[in-house]
Copies of this chain bind each other. A is one copy, B any other.
Amino acid sequence: MAKKLDKSTEDRIKAAAEKIFLEKGFSAARTRDIAEESGLNLALINYYFRSKENLYNIIMMEKLIVFFNIIIDVLDDVNLTILERADKIVNKYTDLLLKEPNLPFFLLSEIQQNPDFFASKLNIKEKLVGSKTIRNLLLEENKKENMHFLLSFLGITLFPFIVRNVFEKLYDLTESEFSQILNERRVFIANLLTEIYPKVNQLTPEDNV
């Protein structure tokens, strides 16, 4: 505690860049926007980070890690049942994405533009696909069913955050009204998963408690 209250110049640039890149994406973001947002000077961005692209990559890496670690950290926690793990993932994503609404879209656009780079970096792939739970899911005979379940679970959890803007505009909801829906959704998803639990139950025999 009691770290420096006023952030270093480097941190101020990073914070500003994070905001701008997450809002606009790489191409539409201008280094001038970042300079203005940080209250600092254009030249300092290159002094500290060498180039716009380098700064972008640093932020993108950090965000990829934050995002995927939510799943990675919980996936093989054998102290929890599958449903408890699912619940924990839902809650952690809800906490994160209420704070950083632009995050899913930011990561998607990066992966969209640069899929091979995404696959090779950060050994996210190894950690995810190498996890015991995922291996169980994918090595079984009903691999396809498991893939559908995974897509559905993540869809139910993440899709509302991805289309947040669309729904707010279509239904004239304020940000805080939609935030409330997203908060309530933790329970809705938990109930939904319980209802279809027999199905889940079949899918990961080794892991169930």
Contact = CB atoms under 8 A, between A and B. Distances in A.
A58 interface: no
Interface string A108-119: 110111011011
A66 interface: no
Contacts of A162: 108, 159, 162
A184 B144 contact: yes
A155 to B, nearest CB: 3
A209 interface: no
Interface in A5-47: 24-28
A152 interface: yes
Contacts of A156: 151-152, 155-156
A22 to B, nearest CB: 10
A138 interface: yes
A111 B165 contact: yes
B169 A118 contact: yes
Contacts of A24: 113
A139 interface: no
A128 interface: yes
Nearest to A24: B113
A188 interface: yes
A4 interface: no
A141 interface: no
Contacts of A163: 108, 151, 154
A35 to B, nearest CB: 19
Given A28-B27, A192-B196, A169 B115 contact: yes
Contacts of A108: 105, 162-163, 166
**Taking each of A102, A108, A155, A169, which has the highest tally of chain B beta carbons within 10 Å of its own beta carbon?**
A155
A48 interface: no
Contact of A181 (B124, B125, B147, B168): B147
A142 to B, nearest CB: 12
